[in-house]
Homo-oligomer: A and B are copies of this chain.
Amino acid sequence: MKSQIKRTFSNFFFEYETPRQVLVRNKRVAVVCRIIQMGVLAYIIGWVFMYEKGYQIVDIAISSIFTKMKGVSFTNISEKERIWDAADYVFPEQGDSSFVVMTNYIATVGQKQDKCPELPDGKNKCTSDAHCDEGKYKRMGNGHMTGRCINDTSTCEIYSWCPVEDDRKIPDPPVLLTAENYTLFIKNSITFRQFNVVRSNLVESVNQSYINTCLYHPKTDPLCPIFRLGDIVERSGFSFSEIARVGGAIGVLIDWDCNLDLSIRHCKPKYEFYGLYGTGKNEDKEEKPSLGYNFRYAKYYVENGVEKRTLMKVFGVRIDIIVHGRAGKFDIIPTLTAIGSGVGIFGVATVVCDMLLLYLVSKRDFYKNMKFKHTEIGEEKPALPQSKTERDLPKVTYH
């Protein structure tokens, strides 16, 4: 028993099996086959390894963004001069990755809790009190109906912040058209956890003196982190005067595609700009719902003991900064997986070649004969014990 195990063990270790093969000397088949094999090899080396970098593991960045707008606008509305700076026109103020730059607004000053007629904008018509259910609220309305229909405006009276905001006419040209010249400074930090790499968009060539003077340009200053608002808008396919009037949303994509097998210095951001929600250049011109971008906010104050508010309907450029970070680095696992898959595909090549050989070539029966050996159950000559066969029969005639 022990010697049995020993022999099995020694057989396993000192013997190894390798497939027996036929060398087919057939020009047509061989050439086709070699071309297929070389195609597979070229695909594995060229595409999987070199183009797609299949030998790398990939990590997606986690990122953090800080933004700062600069610039002032000067307006002169009904003889009232006014200057607007970043604290006045950026929402929210603390430098988020998503923010709105106000370019136009409708201010409704001095609203207070009161009764007043609805806006006669066609959506809230009434001809008698019966149309105005007391205590009810209409989806398009601004407050709770008191039950009266006001003759002057042909609209229901409501309990609301009065007077009701009149947003039927959007100021044109936009109030803050000079917003075009504001500048946006973006600080972006990305972290590739898997590779323990931290990187900022203020790369080696971007120093303090460069930042003080530069302005982003895709050709001449592709790494300058300071952007002119007008440029952002135009690169994303909008016209500034249009977006400034009704608002719009723009995505600023910071694209990092880093090959960490090279020096970290080559890991640089690329900035792209595109319109969101279907008004940008990538979209068809067909009518789309909900263009524009606006929101309302209120400034509250107390006047003579009555709470009042100034309601602002703000139109503006919303900027969403989106980071798309991806880094690859050599790793043995994907390399071996790619090689393994490649060998598998080589197997497919062999199968294809064999089909050629066995089904399409004129001498196919000859080749079949060479390749296959048949065993039939019920043959009169059963197998001799292997060891005996091997040793007793002369090698030349039996193998």
Chain B positions within 8 Å of A311 at CB level: 87
Q: Are A93 and B344 in contact (CB under 8 A)?
A: no
In the complex, are the beta carbons of B95 and A295 less than 8 A apart? yes
A33 to chain B: closest residue by CB: B16
Q: How far is the CB of A268 from chain B (nearest CB, A)?
A: 15
A289/B207 in contact, CB under 8 A: yes
Please tell me if the beta carbons of A183 and B139 are within 8 angstroms of each other in the complex.
yes
B residues near A393, Cβ cutoff 8 Å: 396
- Report, nearest first, the 3 A-B pairs whose CB atoms are least far apart: A366-B383, A340-B344, A340-B341
Determine whether the beta carbon of B22 is less than 8 Å from that of A34.
no
Known: A25-B376, A30-B13, A34-B12. A383 touches B370 (CB 8 A): yes
CA distance A298 to B23 in the complex (A): 86
Cα A365 to Cα B373 in complex, Å, equals 16
Q: Is the CB–CB distance between A22 and B372 below 8 Å?
A: yes
Chain B residues with CB below 8 A from A189, complex form: 249, 251, 276-278
Stretch at the interface among A68-76, A148-156, A166-174, A238-246: A68-76
Residue from B30, B142, B324, B353 within 8 A of A14 (CB atoms)? B30
Task: Report chain B residues within 8 Å CB of A13.
Answer: 30-31, 34
Is A88 close to B, CB under 8 A? yes
Q: List 5 A-B contacts (CB under 8 A).
A: A20-B372, A64-B276, A83-B159, A94-B99, A94-B100
What's the nearest-Cβ distance from chain B to residue A74, in Å? 5
Kindly report which residue of chain B lies nearest to residue A272, judged by CB atoms: B193
